[in-house]
């Protein structure tokens, strides 16, 4: 799986009690794989995008702290739900920052797992009569510690929110009837 440029990024400071990691850079990326795509003739014309991807990433849902964060703060499932919650954290939310640090530490210390995604949706172009080559993607959360170690993770918690279609420039395309699955 190839990771496409980040479409969002933020930094989270580790708690002062942490001795190993002082900060995390967090970004979302779109994982794509050659052959999972379709050509669409433009806005209004819908094309079925169906394809399989395989990957080896860390599994966000294996973190017990992440599970606790989801239930305690009503965080939606998947990478997209966690990312939305992270964007809403205030700088003074020290308890939540400690929990995020703990979750990231658990994931960084876990093993990468083999997984697959079946991207199954309909997509259309952005503009009438402008053909685009659409490729399927899976949303990946990437964390990097202050030492430069990078960890990529995926979630099975909300596959229809964590999959989609993008054009050649990485722009998300309108979609409908998304029945994609992510399996670990």
| pTM of the complete model | 0.87
**In this structure, are residues 123 and 134 in contact, taking their beta carbons and an 8 Å threshold?**
yes
Span 15-71, pLDDT tens digits:
665 557 778 889 999 988 888 889 998 888 899 999 999 999 999 999 999 999 999
Span 91-118, pLDDT tens digits:
677 788 889 999 999 999 999 999 999 9
Locate the domains of the chain by residue range: 2-183
**In this structure, are residues 78 and 158 in contact, taking their beta carbons and an 8 Å threshold?**
yes
């Amino acid at each position: 799986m190839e990771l496409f440029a980040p479409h969002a990024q933020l930094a989270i400071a580790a708690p002062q009690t942490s001795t190993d990691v002082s900060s995390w850079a967090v970004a979302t990326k779109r994982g794509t794989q050659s052959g999972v795509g379709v050509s669409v003739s433009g806005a209004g014309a819908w094309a079925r995008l169906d394809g399989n991807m395989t990957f080896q990433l860390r599994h966000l849902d294996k973190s017990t702290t992440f599970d606790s964060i989801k239930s305690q703060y009503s965080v939606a499932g998947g990478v997209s739900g966690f990312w939305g919650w992270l964007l809403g954290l205030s700088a003074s939310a020290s308890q939540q920052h400690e929990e995020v640090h703990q979750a990231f530490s658990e994931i960084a210390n876990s093993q990468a797992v083999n997984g697959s995604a079946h991207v199954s949706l309909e997509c259309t172009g952005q503009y009438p009569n402008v053909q685009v080559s659409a490729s399927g993607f899976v949303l990946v959360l990437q964390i990097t510690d202050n030492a430069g170690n990078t960890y990529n993770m995926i979630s099975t918690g909300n596959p229809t929110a964590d999959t989609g279609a993008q054009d050649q420039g990485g722009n998300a395309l309108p979609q409908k009837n998304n029945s994609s699955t992510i399996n670990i």
